[in-house]
Amino acid sequence: MDTAKVTIDPAFRIGPADRRLFGSFVEHMGRCVYGGVFEPGHPTADPLGLRGDVLALTRELGVSVVRYPGGNFVSGYRWEDGIGPTGDRPRRLDLAWKSVETNAFGLDEFMVWARAAGVEPMMAVNLGTRGVQEACDLLEYANHPGGTHLSDLRRKHGAEDPYDIRLWCLGNELDGPWQVGHKTADEYGRLAAETARAMKMVDPRVSLVACGSSNRGMPTFAAWEATVLEHTYEHVDYISAHTYYDPTDGDRASILASAVDMDAFITEVVATADQVAAKQRRTRRLKISFDEWNVWYQQGLPADLDRDWAEAPALIEDTFTATDAVVVGDLLITLLRHADRVGVACQAQLANVIAPIRTVTGGPAWRQSIFHPFALTARHARGTVLRTEPTGPSHDTARYGRVPSVDTVAVHDEETGALAVFAVNRGDTDIQLQLDLRALPGLVAHEHLSIAAGDATNTAETPDRVTPRPLSPPTAGLVRLEAASWNLIRFAHPHEER
């Protein structure tokens, strides 16, 4: 069997494992909202219509931040359509998803949901068809204490206290030709800068995200970020990144190596942002908001959109395999490894739409395969992320060339002494991983959970076919990583095992 080695030392600090790395995304798209988080009349729904089963799974998933209301949807959205008496809300065409938006769910419902789920809201403003004024109006409605038309309207709608939403996205994917209101980098950069300046006048405590590229393969990638940041650097706190990895072509070696691409993407966005900082003589460093990432079988999208206008049609309800769970686990390892420069990350999306949680309208909700690595990472990546540099075998992939077979990250909880090691074997043979823990004496492994790649999926009928498998905890720091598997190995001091 091949061997790999990694040294884990508390001196190799990257930064705190920020809870905001475990974010998710609720878009008015398909059945994410309607039939997902919100379904009046569902047996588990509360009087407002919030599905209790989805809320419970959201809490179990360990989601920290939830981005709302889009996505492509936000670029044609009028936020004020979604407030006030439900019966008075207009039905509108949603151009992004060729759907009819009823507006039965809006900001006020989302905030009740976010509180019940225990998540921080992250709002996006429409910079596709709208601009500075509408963004400021929305912020005033949400965050101003009272005594103005919009803040008093919020109070009239039942929210006496301001929502105090701190995280705001300045539009969505405006670099993409598919986006309603698509812009050049200069057009967007100017608008984002002006919107940011005005929003900070309304509420200086907000943190703002400028749109980066929709993915690393965009023809404008890097030039877009450079131009947008030339305009916005002093006004914003984050630059966004989005990426989806498509397993449709069946090239398992490549899809398992997707994190190699995400890693390079992060490195390149950081370099681009730092170059603008250097040029503008700025010492403040921006972080990345990786506010859309996931696996997505994209071949289904054109057929999904080739339909008549419908309310909440089932869109891109991908059923994920165990292999996809291994990929998601590795993408989380990558986000953690960049915890010094990635400040927010949102898996897209939360329910039904390429989501860890699936539902049947009027029926059950269940955990997809990708739910498990997310939930376990969110639960156990607590403390300080430690840099690990595994040495060991590598293998060839069609998409990314030769890649290291083993990817790892470690998170050390300095308070309890607990250590969580996340490790993926991307190759197709078992590998013996040797952990050098001499810098953390006295730790004992008490849990090893693993998900091995494969075609198995979780469905309404078989919701637990893919779950993490407990393996014997390793002794002497020797961990067997099964071929193509995601692994969590937890260590603690013997008196503190849990």
Instruction: List active site positions.
Output: 173, 292
With CB under 6 A as the contact rule, the residue among 292, 317, 324, 407 that binds ligand AHR is 292
SS (HEC) of 62-111: CCCEEEECCCHHHHHCCHHHHCCCHHHCCCEEECCCCEEECCCCCHHHHH
Binding range to ligand AHR, per CB under 6 A, among 65-73, 324-332, 402-410, 417-425 = 65-73
| Shortest reach from residue 71's CB to ligand AHR, in Å | 3
Q: Is 137 exposed, middle or buried (0-12, 13-18, 19+ CB in 10 A)?
A: middle
**Per-residue exposure over 138-156, b if at least 16 CB sit within 10 Å of its own CB, e if not:** bbbbbbbeeeeebbeebee
| Shortest reach from residue 173's CB to ligand AHR, in Å | 5
End-to-end CA distance of the chain: 32
CB closer to ligand AHR out of 70 and 181: 70
CB closer to ligand AHR out of 71 and 468: 71
Question: How far apart are alpha carbons 199 and 188 in whole angstroms?
Answer: 16
Binding range to ligand AHR, per CB under 6 A, among 70-78, 105-113, 114-122, 435-443 = 70-78
Residues with Cβ < 8 Å from 381, sequence gap 6 or more? 17, 21, 22, 332, 336, 411, 420, 422
CB closer to ligand AHR out of 214 and 254: 214
| Shortest reach from residue 380's CB to ligand AHR, in Å | 27
Question: How far apart are alpha carbons 252 and 300 in whole angstroms?
Answer: 19
| Shortest reach from residue 449's CB to ligand AHR, in Å | 28
Query: What is the three-class DSSP state of 330?
Result: helix
| Shortest reach from residue 332's CB to ligand AHR, in Å | 18
Does 318 sit near ligand AHR (CB under 6 A)? no
| Shortest reach from residue 353's CB to ligand AHR, in Å | 6
With CB under 6 A as the contact rule, the residue among 36, 70, 212, 313 that binds ligand AHR is 70
| Shortest reach from residue 27's CB to ligand AHR, in Å | 5
Does 75 sit near ligand AHR (CB under 6 A)? no
Question: How far apart are alpha carbons 69 and 281 in whole angstroms?
Answer: 35
Measure Cα distances from 105 to 87, 164, 183 in Å. 11, 20, 29
Measure Cα distances from 156 to 83, 84, 103, 153 in Å. 11, 9, 18, 5
CB closer to ligand AHR out of 70 and 313: 70
| Shortest reach from residue 72's CB to ligand AHR, in Å | 4
Binding range to ligand AHR, per CB under 6 A, among 69-77, 219-227, 231-239, 473-481 = 69-77
CB closer to ligand AHR out of 72 and 126: 72
> Residue 390: which of 21, 6, 1, 76 has the closest Cα?
6
CB closer to ligand AHR out of 203 and 318: 318
Q: Which value, in Å, is the radius of gyration of the alpha carbons in the chain?
A: 22
Binding range to ligand AHR, per CB under 6 A, among 7-15, 67-75, 185-193, 473-481 = 67-75
CB closer to ligand AHR out of 50 and 348: 348
Question: How far apart are alpha carbons 97 and 366 in whole angstroms?
Answer: 25
Q: Are 96 and 73 in contact (CB under 8 A)?
A: yes
Beta bridge partners of 4: 433
Question: How far apart are alpha carbons 83 and 159 in whole angstroms?
Answer: 12
**Cβ neighbour number for residue 498 with a 10 Å cutoff:** 8
- What is the pattern of x (binds ligand AHR, CB under 6 A) and - over residues 76-115? ----------------------------------------
Does 181 sit near ligand AHR (CB under 6 A)? no
- What is the pattern of x (binds ligand AHR, CB under 6 A) and - over residues 326-355? ----------------------xx------
Helical (H) or strand (E) element with 401: strand 401-404
With CB under 6 A as the contact rule, the residue among 39, 53, 109, 173 that binds ligand AHR is 173
Q: Which residue is nearest to ligand AHR (CB)?
A: 71
CB closer to ligand AHR out of 141 and 221: 221
- What is the pattern of x (binds ligand AHR, CB under 6 A) and - over residues 206-235? --------x---------------------
Does 27 sit near ligand AHR (CB under 6 A)? yes
Q: Please give the biggest Cα pair distance in the chain.
A: 70
Torsion of CA 417, 434, 267, 404, to 10 degrees: -160
Does 72 sit near ligand AHR (CB under 6 A)? yes
CB closer to ligand AHR out of 261 and 292: 292
Interface positions with ligand AHR (CB under 6 A): 27, 29, 70-72, 172-173, 214, 292, 348-349
